[in-house]
Amino acid sequence: MITNTISSNDLFLKNVWSVQLFLPKEELQTNDEFKLTKLEKLVYERRENITLSSSDQNVNYIGLENIEAKTGRISLFSPKQGEEIKSTCKRFYKGDILYGRLRPTLNKVYYNDYFKEGVCTTEIIVLSPILDKVNPVYLAELLRTEIINRHIVGLIKGAALPRIAMADLKQVVLPIPSLKRQNEIAEEILKKRKELEEHIRLAQEIPIEIDKYITKAYK
């Protein structure tokens, strides 16, 4: 049996793509407030390339390996010295979103609310949100959602080393409510993330406490 397929962009152009595709059931009653908007209307691409030297000390360098898949948490991080970083880097600043362009299926998206500035691999696209249009916490979380990631993965090029180009990424269509509503959602996201970090911290303490107990028991 032969079936016809239609792309998400075709649906957008035909005004058929419903925001219901993106939202949990509890949001469906208010989805009229969500406007479908292309990413290019919400961010600028930061293109500040830099080559580091031995005079650059304790550099906040982020590679793809430092961004945890799907969660966007930073892991295995430690400042680097300039001579350790041989290739050209991109500069980023506080408030930027770092999007892993290599193998987007890994879904590596980091919102930088910690480092005043730093550098990252060129396999990361640095997005600077337009703050009077989008809340960066909301945007980063949206880019991590499974349905948006699937859409982005459908745009990648290359077989051995699949990548997403900025020219394609900026065409991705996103459900964007009012800035007030975004701020409310972002506040809830940050609350949930804080709770998650506390659970992770407590979980990490369990092996330490067990080790203490076993050590005490064998004395």
- Domain with residue 154: its CATH number is 3.90.220.20
- Strands 117-121, 61-62: pairing kind: parallel
213: in domain = no
Contact 76, 65 (CB under 8 A): yes
185: in domain = no
pLDDT score, position 194: 80
24: in domain = no
Q: Where in the sequence is the domain holding 107, given as residue range(s)?
A: 32-177
Contact 98, 62 (CB under 8 A): yes
pTM to 2 decimal places: 0.78
pLDDT tens digit sequence for 116-171: 999 999 999 999 999 999 999 999 999 999 989 998 998 887 677 889 999 999 99
pLDDT score, position 212: 63
Domains: count for the chain: 1
DSSP code string of 110-122: EE-SS-SEEEEET
Mean pLDDT for the stretch of residues 4-31: 45
pLDDT tens digit sequence for 45-82: 999 999 988 888 899 999 999 999 998 999 888 888 88
- The band of 6, judged by pLDDT with boundaries at 50, 70 and 90, is very low
Q: How many angstroms separate the CA atoms of 215 and 196, rounded?
A: 30
With CA atoms as reference, report the closest residue to 170 among 152, 182, 158.
Answer: 152
- The band of 31, judged by pLDDT with boundaries at 50, 70 and 90, is low
- The band of 19, judged by pLDDT with boundaries at 50, 70 and 90, is very low
The position carrying tokens 């930061």 is 46
47: in domain = yes
23: in domain = no
22: in domain = no
